[in-house]
Amino acid sequence: MIYKRFVIGVVVRLILLVLALGSLVYIVFIPHWWVLSGILLVVTTVILIELLQYVSKTNKDLAKFIDAINYKDYSVSFSSYKLGNAFDELHHAFRKTLQLFKELKLEKEAHYQYMLQLVKHVNVGIMAIDEKGKLVLFNDQAAQLLSLPNLVYWNRYEEKVPHFYQAVNEQHNNAKRLIRLKNSDIEINLRVTRLKVESGEHLVVIFQNIKAEIEDKEIDAWNKLIKILTHEIMNSVTPISSLTETLIQLEQSRNHGDDDLLTGLNTINRRSKSLLQFVDDYRKLASIPAPVLKALPLNSFLSHIQELYGAQLKQKNIALRVHTPNQEINIRADEGLLNQVFANLFSNSIHALQHTYEPGIEITVKRDGSSTIIHFSDNGQGIPEGQLGEIFVPFYSSKTEGSGIGLSLCKQIMHLHRGSISVASSNGETTFSLKF
């Protein structure tokens, strides 16, 4: 429709131009009609200029429209010339098309921002590296796992995290690999995808901390094992304990009981009861109640802990220092279960500080991003490096009278809080870190 009106406009102007030219040629040879000839010359010139403007207007508007698309400038306006309805319709079509492009751009930008927020908050580290070695994407989880900010260029990570840098560069396309970050207990599942784009090859690095998943399976396996063992041992030992008590009573009722037999029976009875108590302790690991999570003011809680253990520590000449931020920090925790964690930590520290000069326990609260960490330290004997990886394992204890249940219980309680407990020991100082 627009094209048809434009053609009609051009044809009409051409006809008028031909008529004006023909009249001018005819009149110019008639004597004394110079005035009319001048008028026709002016009219012919005006029609010719108007025809050129009419034709060039379309080209200018079209060029303006194409430039607006190329430069993504959707605010371009088209001035209205009184050159016919054809141009009004053409301008309306241009404006409508630019508005569609603008809406598409806004929709694309909204989708981009939405995906960017998803990538930013997803619980997986994501890095994208272009062909020049520049990081075009680096989310918060990647920064947290690597304990590094966005360094912009990939080669700068070689100095900061060489093991990770080497693993990424050596990784085959779409292959998975488990690696442990050096100077950390974090074990990550690493996957590298190489994408071919017009500018070259891009690397997409995806990595996730699977420590929590491993601990989930490990704790689940221990719980299953403990349930089976305790069930079988209880079924076997309970009749023995009951039978030995009966035999002891029968032997004692005789006038001339056998002292050696009574001694043996009493020994069996004591050992069987001790074994039952031992098994009952381990049943606690598999029967920890689900935590009732509530907002727990940490400063107030630690003040209560300080009062609770202050007298006992004073008797043993152990100094207790608690460092908390000036501002109250709330954590989501079950106060009763958290008390059990601190009871075990204090018990271990008191044992470790028996032969220490100027013994002391220090509790420090720190914030790390969205996490709260409680550091529990003592200056006792320290833990040998070879034992650091074993102390949270059920049945393991470095103490001769220990049951090996305390720290395993702490780990399970922290796990139920969706937190973690870790340990570090050097130069006789041991620090347990509770992360919420």
pLDDT of residue 226: 64
Supply the pLDDT for residue 293.
85
**Residue 337 has what pLDDT?**
86
Question: What whole-number distance in Å separates Cα of residue 407 and Cα of residue 250?
Answer: 43
Q: What is the pLDDT of residues 213-243, one digit of tens each?
A: 666 666 666 666 666 666 566 666 677 777 7
pLDDT of residue 375: 93
Q: How far apart are CA 367 and CA 370, in angstroms?
A: 7
pLDDT at 383: 81
Q: With 60 as the cut, is the pLDDT of residue 11 above it?
A: yes
Query: Do the strands 125-129 and 200-209 form a parallel or antiparallel pair, or are they unpaired?
Result: antiparallel
Stretch 333-361: mean pLDDT:
86
In angstroms, rounded to a whole number, what is the distance separating the alpha carbons of residues 24 and 43? 10
Give the pLDDT confidence score for residue 234 in this predicted structure: 67
Q: What is the pLDDT of residue 69?
A: 73
Are residues 397 and 356 in contact, defined by beta-carbon separation less than 8 angstroms?
no
* Complete edge-to-edge strand list for the sheet that includes strand 319-323: 319-323, 360-368, 371-378, 429-435, 420-426
**CA–CA separation, 130 vs 151, rounded Å?**
14
CATH of domain 122-209: 3.30.450.20
* Mean pLDDT, residues 389-410: 69
Mean pLDDT is lowest, of 30-34, 295-299, 333-337, for: 30-34
Most confident range (mean pLDDT) of 66-75, 132-141, 403-412 is 132-141
Report pLDDT for 112: 74
Q: What percent of the chain has pLDDT over 70?
A: 70
Per-residue pLDDT at 230:
66
DSSP string over 297-361: EHHHHHHHHHHHHHHHHHHTT-EEEEE--SS--EEEE-HHHHHHHHHHHHHHHHHHTTT-SS-EE
| Rounded Cα–Cα distance for residues 127 and 139 (Å) | 7
pLDDT of residue 182: 63
Please write the tens of the pLDDT for every residue from 146-196. Answer: 777 878 888 888 888 888 888 888 888 777 777 777 656 677 788 888 888
Query: Stretch 51-63: mean pLDDT, rounded?
Result: 68
List of residues 6+ apart from 260 with CB closer than 8 A: none
CA angle 272, 278, 279 (to 5 degrees): 90
Mean confidence (pLDDT) of the chain: 76
**C-alpha to C-alpha distance for 41 and 336, rounded to whole angstroms:** 106
With cut-offs at 50, 70 and 90, classify the pLDDT of residue 397: low
**Is 374 a residue whose pLDDT tops 70?**
yes
Extents of the domains making up the chain: 2-112, 122-209, 213-287, 294-435
Distance from C-alpha of 55 to C-alpha of 153, rounded to nearest angstrom: 54
Q: Is the dihedral of CA 27, 30, 35, 38 positive or negative?
A: positive
Q: Two tokens at 327? A: 């501002």
Q: On the CB side of 13, how many CA atoms lie within 13 Å of its CA?
A: 19
CATH of 294-435, one of 3.40.640.10, 3.40.50.150, 3.40.50.300, 3.30.565.10: 3.30.565.10
Higher pLDDT, 116 or 411: 411
pLDDT higher than threshold 80 for residue 248: no
Cβ atoms within 10 A of the Cβ of 252, count?
A: 10
According to DSSP H, which parts of 157-258 are helical? 157-160, 162-170, 211-253
Residue 84, pLDDT above cutoff 80: no
**At 402, is the pLDDT very low, low, confident or very high (cuts 50, 70, 90)?**
low
